[in-house]
Amino acid sequence: AKEMTYNQIKGSAEYILAQTRVRPKIALILGSGLNPIASEIENATRIPYKNIPRWNSTTNPDHEGVLIIGTLDKIPVAVMNGRLHQYEGNSMKECAYPVAVFKAMGIEKIIVTNAAGGINTDYRNGDFVLISDHIKFFNEGPLTGEDASILGGNRFFDMSDTYSQYLRNRVAGAFEAEGGKKLQQGVYAYMPGPQFETPAEIRMLRVLGADVVGMSTVPEAIMAAACNMKVLGISVVSNMAAGVENKKLSGADVNETCASIKEDFKVLIHTAVKVLEEEN
Ligand code: HPA
């Protein structure tokens, strides 16, 4: 895997901070079809990924590829409008690189969002799932070949409460208090894609304890854990996973579901940002 040096991370962070006077405290990564909140960022400075040193560009047309620095409800945030996936040819390290840059910018909290397939048969299309944990198989990881001490951590780092239970419960309580629907909490399985899973793979993942499946989020969450950042992970069930219903899967259906929940999802993000802002 291509090396990631502290100087590169610092160089990307300095480039970004030179474009704006806003100093974000929370990062937000928007998943497929979950970008409508991007238009609510105030005092926005928009930085195309292709201008940021060492930071890869998006190739998926549903992912704009612009970093937005600004405020949401007066809270300074850095919003990735579009993320980097392994299926685009990025290494796990390249997918997760922006998170190391956020850490170097002084950001200690991150919200990672995605559209995901529902494996748990109690879930319904359009449900929101706070990620409680993840499963990733044995291929490369974002820290392969790195010593996380360049990020201020340790080579071997703990993953047992990466998706902080305390934060999940705070967000769930606050969202329900605002009249939001009940949030699910479950395990996210990472599969690299770009093909959707086979029905046999989905049955396997269910046996292993997964509730949702998707092609993102895990590289960024591992990098955030290496950096000692607080992580909140949110999946939107954009379809039931392969074989759960007698139905073919398509990217168009994923986008349609995400469009149908966008107002609720905005409320959830406003709530989550507020909860994270209040935590030290
Ligand atoms: N599988 C993997 N990734 C996904 C899915 C799915 O069913 N839906 C949205 N992203």
- Which atom of ligand 1 lies closest to the CA of 117? 7
Q: What is the pLDDT of residues 177-203, one digit of tens each?
A: 988 789 999 999 999 999 999 999 999
Quick count: other Cβ atoms within 10 Å of Cβ 10?
14
State how far the Cα of 224 lies from the Cα of 100, in Å rounded to an integer: 7
Q: What is the pLDDT of residues 114-154, one digit of tens each?
A: 999 999 999 999 999 999 999 999 778 998 887 777 787 78
Over the chain, what is the mean pLDDT? 93
For residue 5, what are its two tokens?
A: 């040096």
Contacts of 80 (CB under 8 A, 6+ apart): 27, 28, 29, 30, 67, 98
- Residue with the nearest Cα to atom 7 of ligand 1? 117
CA of 64 to the centre of ligand 1 (A): 19
User: Which residues does a 6 A CB cutoff place in the pocket of ligand 1?
Assistant: 115-117, 191, 196-197, 213-215, 238-239, 241, 249, 254
Share of the chain above pLDDT 90, in %: 80
Work out the pLDDT band at 1, boundaries 50, 70, 90: very low
- Which atom of ligand 1 lies closest to the CA of 118? 7
Q: What is the pLDDT of residues 226-254, one digit of tens each?
A: 999 999 999 999 999 999 998 999 999 99
For residue 247, what are its two tokens?
A: 């139905």
* β-sheet bridge partners, residue 230: 109
Among 32, 137, 202, 215, the mutation site with the greatest number of ligand 1 atoms within 8 A of its Cβ is 215
State how far the Cα of 280 lies from the Cα of 276, in Å rounded to an integer: 8
Task: Report the b/e string of 136-146 with b at 16+ CB within 10 A.
Answer: beeeebbbeeb
State how far the Cα of 229 lies from the Cα of 217, in Å rounded to an integer: 14
Amino acid at 232: L
What is the C-alpha R_g of the chain? 17
- Residue with the nearest Cα to atom 3 of ligand 1? 214
> CA angle 130-133-135, nearest 5°?
125
For residue 65, what are its two tokens?
A: 């590829």
- Which atom of ligand 1 lies closest to the CA of 216? 3
CA of 249 to the centre of ligand 1 (A): 9
Q: What is the average per-residue pLDDT within 31-47?
A: 91
DSSP-assigned letter for residue 6: H
pLDDT, position 104: 95
pLDDT, position 148: 78
pTM equals: 0.95
pLDDT, position 2: 58
Q: What is the pLDDT of residues 59-87, one digit of tens each?
A: 877 777 999 999 999 999 999 999 999 99
Higher pLDDT pick, 2 / 150: 150
- Which atom of ligand 1 lies closest to the CA of 240? 7
